[in-house]
Every structure is written in C-alpha cells, then in structure tokens.
Amino acid sequence: MKMKRMMCAAMAAAMTVSLAACGGSNSTAETTAAAGGAAADSAEDSGAASSDAVFVIGGSGPLTGGSALYGTAVQNGGQVAVDEINANGGINGYQVKWLFEDDEADGEKAINAYNTLKDGGMQMFVGTTTSGACMSVIAETENDNMFQITPSGTTADITKPANVYRMCFSDPAQGTKSAQYIAENGVAQKVGVIYDNSDTYSSGIYENFVKEAQNQGLEVVGAESFNSESKTDFKTQLQKLKDAGAELVFLPFYYTEASLVLKQADEMGWAPKFFGCDGMDGILDLPDFDTSLAEGLMLLTPFSADAEDELTQNFVAAYEEAYGETPIQFAADAYDCLYVIKAAAEAADITPDMEISDMCEAMKTAMTEVTLDGLTGQGISFDENGEPNKAPKAVVIENGAYKSLE
Amino acid sequence: MKIKNKTFRQNAITYAMVLLFYLICQGLIMSGNMSSLMKGLMVPICYYVILAVSLNLVVGISGELSLGHAGFMCIGAYSSAIFAVCVDGKIPEMAELLLALVIGAAVTAVFGFLIGIPVLRLRGDYLAIVTLAFGEIIKNVVNAVYVGVDENGLHFSMKDSLSLGLSENGIEIINGAQGISGLPRTATFTTGIILVFITLFIVLNLVNSRQGRAIMAIRDNRIAAESIGLSVSKYKMMAFVISAALAGVAGVLYSHNLSTLQATSKNFGYNQSIMILVFVVLGGIGNIRGSVIAAFILTILPEKLRFLSDYRMLIYAIVLITMMLFNSAPKAIAWRKSIKERFFSGKKAEAGKEAQ
C-alpha cells in the first residue's frame, strides 16, 4: 500500500518536473529571442546590419511513414534555398534559420509539430507538405496570424484564411486546367478517369476535372475509384474503361500507383493515351520501372529536373551534391517558397525583431506585389486569395525524357 | 469495511492525481510558463486518457480483447461533427459542445450495442479479429460517404460529391475522403479534464459495484458465474456498450479540438486501436490508474523525443519496449521488489534524502 503511494508520489513529481522543464525551456527560448532582438536593435543603431538576430522560418511535413518522401523533399529543398540565401547575405541582411519538424501527414501531429516550431521561435511557416494536415494547421496559424505558405497543400480551402498562401496549383486549378488542355488541344474526346477516393488530393482533382470536362464538351465515359488499401490491382478499373471506349485515361494520383496502372494496361494489351497531374512527376526515376511503358504519357507539372535553364540546373546540382538524389517537384516548391518569402520580406522591409502578427500583415501586403522567376514557373505572382499565378507546363514523355508540349 | 476503505482510498488517489495534474497545468498556463507544444497537447492527453480508461473496461475488467476502439472513437467524432456543422452559429458554443457530447455518446452506444450482439458471442482471438474488422469498416465507410444539406433536406451519396445534386446554397457536410471541415474548436483543457473525471467516476464506480463484480466474475470463471445465475450476455454487453460510449466521448473531444476531421489510418485506423491497447497494457490490464498514467506518458513521449529528429520513432519504440519490460517482465518485477525492500528497510531519513 505504502509502496504504491510512494510510486504515485514519485510519478506525480516526475510529471511536475517534466512540465516545469517544458515551461523552463520555453521561457529561456523567449529570453534569448528577446536578447537577440535587443542585440539587433543596438546593432542597427551602430549601423551594422549583420548581428545575432536571424529570421526563423519553420516547415513541417511527413518525415516518417508512407509519404515520408514528400516531407523529406520539402525539408531538403528548403535547406538548399536557405543555404543559398545565407551565402548571399540573407534576407534584409539577416541570416535565415530553417527548422523542420515531422508531422506524420496527420492533422493532430501537424499541430504538435507547428507548436514545437513556435517554441523554437519560428516567425514564418512553410507548410505543411500534405493537404490533410494543412487543413488542421491553418486554423492555428490564422489564430496566431502567422504568415504561412504551403509548398504542396492542394486542397482548395487551404488558402481561405488571409494569412495562408500556396506555391503549387490547387486541386480545382489542376483538374480544370487538365480538362481545358485536353479539350483545347483535341487530345481526346472520350475520357475515362481512375482516382483514389481515399485521398483528398486525388478526389479533389477528379471532381473538378469532371465539372470542367462537361463545360468543355468532353465525354466522361467512366470514373473508377480505388482506395489506399487496394492500390495494387487496377485491372478491373482499366477493363471497365476499355469497355466504355475511353480514348484517354486521366490519372490524378501519385506516380507509384500510376506506374502499376501503366504496366497493367500494357499487360492487357490496351494502349489509350494517359494524362497525369503533378503527382505523376517522378515516374521516370522509379526503381524497376520500365520507362518505355511511360512513352507518350502526358502530365501537367510545374517542375522537371531535366529543364535546361540555369536556375534549375544549379538547383539540381546543389541538391544532388547535398543529398545524392534527383530533386522532385516538392523540393522545387519548397525552394520557391523560401525565395518568395525572401522577395516579399525585402519588399516589406521586415526585420526579425518584429512581432509575428505585424510581420504577417506586412508580408500579406508585399505578397501581392512581388513576382518571382522560380523553379516552378516564370513570373510567379500571387493574388489576394493566396493562389499563385503561373502557367502550367504540360510535358510528354518521349524517349524516356520530358519534352515540353505547347 | 476495511476492503471498502481500501478501494475508496485507491480511487481517491486516482482522482487526486488527475486534479493535481490539472491544477499544475492550469497554473503553468495562467502564468504563461507553458510551451505552445504542451498547451496544444492538453486536450489530446484528455481524450487519450478517456480512450485508455474506457478500453481498460473491456480488456481489463471484462477480459475481452477488443481491437476496434478507434472505430468507436470515429463514430463519436463523425456524429458530433455532423451535428456541429448543422447547428454551427445557431446555438451557443457551450450548449453545442454539451449536446455534441450527448449525441456522440448516444450514437456510439447504439453502435456498440448493435456490434456487441454478434461480437460478444465470440471469445478470445475471434472477438479480437471481428472488432479489428469493425474498426476498419467504419473508417472505410466514412471515407466513402458524401452527405450534403440544402433547403430540400439531406442528400446522400456513396459515389462523389457531384452526384449529391445539391442546390446553389447547399453545403457539403461530409465530403468523402476530404472529410468534414469548418468545425468549431470549442474543446478546452477544462472540459477535457471534466470529461476525464466523469469517465473515471463511471468506470471506477462500475468496477466496485454489484454489476462490476458480476462482470469480473464472468471474466474469471464464466461457468461458475452462469451457475449462480448471472446473465453472461447482459453483463458483457453492459461493459462493452459503456466502453464504446466513452470512446465516443473521446471522439467528440477529438473532433472539437481540430478544425477538420478526416478518417485516416493514422487517427481512426487499427494503428490507433493498437496504440490505445498499448496504453492499457503498459498501464497494467485492469489497472485504471495505470491507464491514465500510461496514456499521459505515451502521448507526451513522441513529442518530447523530437530533438532526436530522424531517430525519433526508433527511440520511441525502444523506450516503449524498455518500459514494458520494466513493468511486466518477471525479472524486472523481482528486481524492483528487492530495490523497494532495501529502500524501506533503511531509515526513513535516508529514504527522504534518496528521494530528493
């Protein structure tokens, strides 16, 4: 009896200590931040811009679990950009610190990751990588009035709060633009769709694609779905679309599943045209995938690592050197996010000692004024809703490489 | 008489522990000494504690291995979220939360009853398999359902949101895999703690009541219990339905803590069910206070290990295994006993010093 009570007391004591420790570490972080701010002030007074004060930019994405690939790409792409920015003198003369936390692509964990970043002194947020997690975090950032730009959260409602911007195309934009492209270029008349109904990205694009296809006079002959638990066998779906006479199959999902679709269609001896979205980017780098199957596959993508321009080449070289792999579009989106922040921060002339909320207000005004020639598009600008204006690039795969379509 | 005093004292310690935790945390929040991370974790701690305690009722007290607890949580979360979206802005926040709790608990209890009818005919592994399947079914069904509302009433579809046929000013309530968005975030730490207290009150009182002793008698020896006239299905059902309803309450708290609700394998899948079972096993099967402490520790731990970055999940698993061994391995128990004996045989003053 006594022992139990002792144990209990010990437990309670341990809890108290751990809680007090969190409180303690937080307050020290605050004091150092305050001290940093003071140092910045005095440094400015003496005329030297460089000091201990830094911009702390945080990001989050899945670093563990099934979609860890995307989170890691955002983390690394952001790191490449931050290293470059710091080497070139930082933002407004201040160095940039890049923090990144694992959110496991889950709404609840994403809030924990966001709060951890806040405890680390984050002033601006690049995240989250996945749409579902992003939907729950926007409520937090709106509450704190923290400037947020998501590199790759595509769900339409993400940019609803005034403080949230987006670097990639939204689901409606991708679905609509795909349908427009197919209709305007006369790629096909009878279209079939396969989509992942357990994924917000995929079902979001699908719905908007179908809506726009009807406007454009395309005939959607069939829409077949699969879900995250049955994503290895697509023969049933393909057979149904084949029987319905589809000339083109629209595949709004990620390249791992798409590679199976292409393979199984080939095994069936059916060769319609295939059309994908930005999630298709990366299919050529998939291990053990016969790239000849992807011949003639069209996709809308903002970024291709094979592009000839100097910016892309430098980025790919830096990324490959640091991480030993070819960057995917998520890395490019994160890279552009950091540069947009740099551009807007310089236009708004913000400093690290500003309040987070004031910083956000200044950034909001500046965001609509800046344009960026980035990896994912030329002359990217933002409207007041937080959506990017950039031209979608359509590419076709020929001889195992992307070729731009006009 | 003495036994009654003992259980009373044990329960009082559990309540006091939760109260102390609440007062300390509230103090830290008020004085602004708590980090954002910990503040954000307060409500999750509450619903994980409720989940652990309620599952312990089935696993520990009733002796049935249920692996579908996240499914009940999902039902509670979705039913209350639909309600919240429908009445959003029409009634005061507190009333909304209260009604949502009642609705979430009631709907989940009904489901618990319906599922309990076939499931409780099974025993052991079979029951575990069926409840596991149930949890997965619930998750997949809510992912495939589209519900919308407009002036013509509710619309329902299993295909996509286009086939709902909503009019201009209709709103989508459940949008398939995209879930429910725009939920009110009304759950607070205080409401969470009150619900923890209610849960503890219900479970601890049930365990020490006539019904609770009947449930435990059935667990320990079904034939003997039947022979003295206890209705096996009635008492098992009682534990199962109460446990489900409490999991539903946790679900309500979950849905009112996030602005969006999506059913993924992370939050309502079998991973979550196993996670809740881990709370129960770590805290000790049948030990309610243990469940509370284990749920608390295992919710905090992965967040506190963030400084390990890439190795976080690896270390988390190792810590978990170590804790399990420390708690339940026979050698560890013997070792702990010998330490305790040495600890208590020494002088009180020395013990005091060591504790410091």
> Tens of pLDDT along A205-243?
998 899 899 889 899 998 888 887 788 899 999 999 999
Residues from chain A that touch B140, judged by Cβ atoms under 8 A, are 198, 227, 229
β-pair partners for A401: A398
Give pLDDT, residue A31: 36
What's the rounded mean pLDDT across residues A388-405? 81
CA distance A299 to A305: 14
Whole-complex ipTM: 0.87
CATH architecture of A172-301: 3-Layer(aba) Sandwich (3.40)
Give pLDDT, residue A308: 79
| Domain extents in chain A | 54-169+312-389, 172-301
Residue B69 pLDDT exceeds 60 = yes
Which tokens go with A393? 């690039």
CA-nearest residue to A116 within chain B is B37
Give pLDDT, residue B340: 86
Q: What percent of chain B has pLDDT over 70?
A: 96
Give pLDDT, residue A51: 54
Where residue B173 falls among pLDDT bands split at 50, 70, 90?
confident
Where residue B153 falls among pLDDT bands split at 50, 70, 90?
confident
Residue A295 is classified by DSSP as: T
Which tokens go with B307? 């400084």
Best mutation target, A26, A63, A79, to test chain B (most B CBs within 10 A): A26
What's the rounded mean pLDDT across residues A94-102? 94
CA-nearest residue to A114 within chain B is B37
Where residue B1 falls among pLDDT bands split at 50, 70, 90?
low
CB contact under 8 A, B34 and A26: yes
> Tens of pLDDT along B99-146?
999 999 999 999 999 999 998 888 778 989 999 999 999 998 988 888
A54-169+312-389 and A172-301 in the same fold: yes
| Domain extents in chain B | 43-270
A54-169+312-389: CATH homologous superfamily?
A: Response regulator (3.40.50.2300)
Give pLDDT, residue A36: 38
> Tens of pLDDT along A150-161?
998 888 889 989
> Tens of pLDDT along A3-35?
555 555 555 555 444 444 443 333 333 333 333
CB contact under 8 A, B40 and A106: no
B221 burial type by CB count under 10 A (0-12 exposed, 13-18 middle, 19+ buried): exposed
Distance from CA of A404 to the nearest CA of B (A): 33
Give pLDDT, residue B125: 85
Contacts for A120-123: CB closer than 8 Å, 24+ residues apart: A120/A29, A120/A56, A120/A58, A121/A29, A121/A33, A121/A56, A122/A56, A122/A57, A122/A58, A122/A146, A123/A55, A123/A56, A123/A57, A123/A147, A123/A352, A123/A356, A123/A359
Give pLDDT, residue A32: 37
> Tens of pLDDT along B278-327?
999 999 999 999 999 999 999 999 998 888 877 888 888 898 899 888 88
More confident residue, B94 or B49: B49
> Tens of pLDDT along A256-305?
889 999 999 999 999 999 999 888 877 887 778 888 888 888 888 888 77
Residues from chain B that touch A223, judged by Cβ atoms under 8 A, are 160
